Structure 1
């Protein structure tokens, strides 16, 4: 770092030591493959340079001795010298990658929040919808949002003039519709294979598709807000269509590629006639909070109730942790630790009870109990429905999401095996918002 201020003599001495290190390396690695004359020449020139270093020889003498040793090394060192810049760069990045992977595996691991099950403590991916073209940032504003918020633009533009329509799933009760989608194989960062969710609109019968991350929610709401001003406007549009059912077509949609079972959908006109090039829908996908997770502490101290809690799902025995082919899904989850082995949990009046008393250990527990701010309160769902309790078994933990009304957690799939615990979040490092900093 300070070599810029070193004298010529100091620089030459440093260079001489580096050449001697290389000569020593070549001697130990290749002495069995060198002839007696080559070994003698290598040892002689190395000894001469080493002697000059001990005598603190002048820079010019050091330079001549270095040049002589380098000439020998070029002849006898094989692949050790000379090296091209490409080889050196590859070695540098390989060593750096090994160090980073080792550090990630044992100490600190980056982790991205995909969903909003821990909202508002941690944010998953969200949609920032632009209901009019004037609302959408462009130019420098769009670049700044990309850099600071990880915002990625998605737009649906009419390929021709005509009437707009879309497919909808029918809800279980038949009282509402949800914008239909299919799952497709896509690419993350244009390289890594991933599964994406694809929505299809139709303009004069021509399909227009948009792909978003599999875990992203909110495209249906963005459509309702943009085209109808919200849920009530969409409901009114559907009531008007009830009077003329001939405008609604019924057909089947293959939601999962390669699976013969298809879902019944309705193709519904959306009451808009578009001009070619007109935007149907425009929004930014804001990246979820990106955390640094401490993987080291739990090797020495027991996890504490109230901490953020990262774990693997590969050994959680539940149908919800298996794919449609019955294979176990191995991924990382983040929830809040709510129960240790032997604890009994219950939910009453939006409050989570641990061993008969309101749970403590995190601000989010208190805020959920009071339904304060954006915290919605704990909900009696699944295994913790009204009047039911859960007792954590030995060598396991219980984990719940802070967004209890929209969190698939231990109430649904059971307990986290102790062997699957990864660590606790310590820092939100991206995106750059008021939440950036120490993780709660």
Structure 2
């Protein structure tokens, strides 16, 4: 039967018709007369028997015609049946997708580059986001490719944003991208009272265009001056497992997604960063409840006096760096108890969390 379904278009058509009439019978059983129900069940059973018996094409067509006549005679027609069926299919698909997203797998994008090189987030050139107050960001210049190279970069998730001032004036506003579902359609800037359009702007991750491009409100631009010249590289997209932790607790070294809800404001608001109270983050888990954590001079995590090394599961790459080499951005370089972490260590022995 299964092989015939794959090999015969008639068998597939007959099977689909039988299931469709059976579904309509279930829908209308309470409003149909006993005679109608019996006639429909008989026609459905005859077609099912013909399929199971391996009837030839002519016999199947005869049973299909009989089922069609019976259905047309007894089933009550629906208004706008095509719309009804399309809406029904759409609702079922949405329900299944929401169920999978809620209980099993949830799509997640990496908003920043903090997990690189394990997971790549949204990054930009020049990078005006990774500097301390008062420092200048990376002023790297780049050329925008054309032709096949530009197409190749587009498929690799590379986007460019270039805006030149159309008139003399101050930067008055930078609007958020206008979205339809998950797609950015356009974004506008107001310079000197003139609207500047960016169509299909890229995803800026957890930051805004103004933050990534280093835009300053009320800054004056001359006509033709370059306001934005930005290269944005899309981050990784992955599925988050929402099922496993219902049956066991997280383990050290696993990459987890957590919400910042419940983190005290003193830890969320520092000189280095500002974290919203309802933001989702993706990080590698290094400490469990009740443990004493310490960052050693060689940039390893020490848990309850025991150093985590490359031999620890899930840390093979994390601690594969050369301790004699200075930390490097987007390379495995260990852990650094540097600027911005002071609130976490306040009132505790040096290097202990």
Question: Which of the five TM-score ranges fits, normalised by the shorter chain?
Answer: 0.5 to 0.7
Distance 1:339 1:198 in 2: 44
Matches for 1:22-421 after TM superposition, within 5 Å: 22-46=20-44, 48-49=46-47, 52=50, 57-78=55-76, 83-84=81-82, 86-129=83-126, 135-149=143-157, 151-160=158-167, 184-188=175-179, 190-191=180-181, 213=204, 215-216=206-207, 267=219, 276=224, 279-318=226-265, 329-349=277-297, 350-360=299-309, 361=312, 362=315, 363-365=317-319, 367=321, 371=326, 373-374=328-329, 375=333, 377-380=335-338, 381-382=341-342, 383-384=344-345, 387=350, 389-390=352-353
Contact 1:127 1:219 in 2 (8 A): no
CA gap of 1:344–1:15, structure 2 versus 1, over 3 A, is: same
Distance 1:94 1:290 in 2: 26
Cross-structure match for 2:133: none
Tell me the C-alpha RMSD between the 2 structures.
4.5
Contact 1:122 1:289 in 2 (8 A): yes
State the Cα distance separating 1:74 from its structure 2 match. Answer: 2.2
Contact 1:201 1:209 in 2 (8 A): no
CA gap of 1:369–1:21, structure 2 versus 1, over 3 A, is: same
Contact 1:305 1:339 in 2 (8 A): yes
3-state SS in 2 of match to 1:31: helix
Distance 1:23 1:208 in 2: 57
Contact 1:200 1:208 in 2 (8 A): yes
Structure 1: tracts of 5 or more residues without a match: 168-180, 225-251, 254-264, 323-327, 391-440
CA gap of 1:309–1:182, structure 2 versus 1, over 3 A, is: farther
CA gap of 1:50–1:124, structure 2 versus 1, over 3 A, is: closer
State the Cα distance separating 1:314 from its structure 2 match. Answer: 2.9
CA gap of 1:30–1:306, structure 2 versus 1, over 3 A, is: closer
Contact 1:118 1:335 in 2 (8 A): yes
Distance 2:352 2:44 in 1: 77
Structure 2: tracts of 5 or more residues without a match: 127-138, 270-275
Q: Deviation string for 1:172-222 (max 9, x for gaps)?
A: xxxxxxxxx97754434x45699x9998767xx978688883733897786
Cross-structure match for 1:6: 7
Distance 1:3 1:48 in 2: 18
Distance 1:64 1:81 in 2: 28
CA gap of 1:365–1:300, structure 2 versus 1, over 3 A, is: farther
Cross-structure match for 2:131: none
Distance 1:268 1:107 in 2: 51
3-state SS in 2 of match to 1:111: strand
Q: Deviation string for 1:364-411 (max 9, x for gaps)?
A: 245396545533741242213671533xxxxxxxxxxxxxxxxxxxxx
Distance 1:112 1:93 in 2: 25
Give the alignment's TM-score, normalised by structure 1: 0.56
Contact 2:144 2:160 in 1 (8 A): no
Contact 1:131 1:282 in 2 (8 A): no
3-state SS in 1 of match to 2:116: coil
State the Cα distance separating 1:88 from its structure 2 match. Answer: 3.8
3-state SS in 1 of match to 2:252: coil
State the Cα distance separating 1:113 from its structure 2 match. Answer: 1.1
3-state SS in 1 of match to 2:32: coil
Which fold has the larger relative contact order, with Cα–Cα distance below 8 Å and residues 6 or more apart in sequence?
A: 1
Greater strand content: 1
Contact 2:112 2:235 in 1 (8 A): yes
Distance 1:58 1:355 in 2: 75
Give the alignment's TM-score, normalised by structure 2: 0.68
* Residue correspondences, number: 315
Contact 1:107 1:296 in 2 (8 A): yes
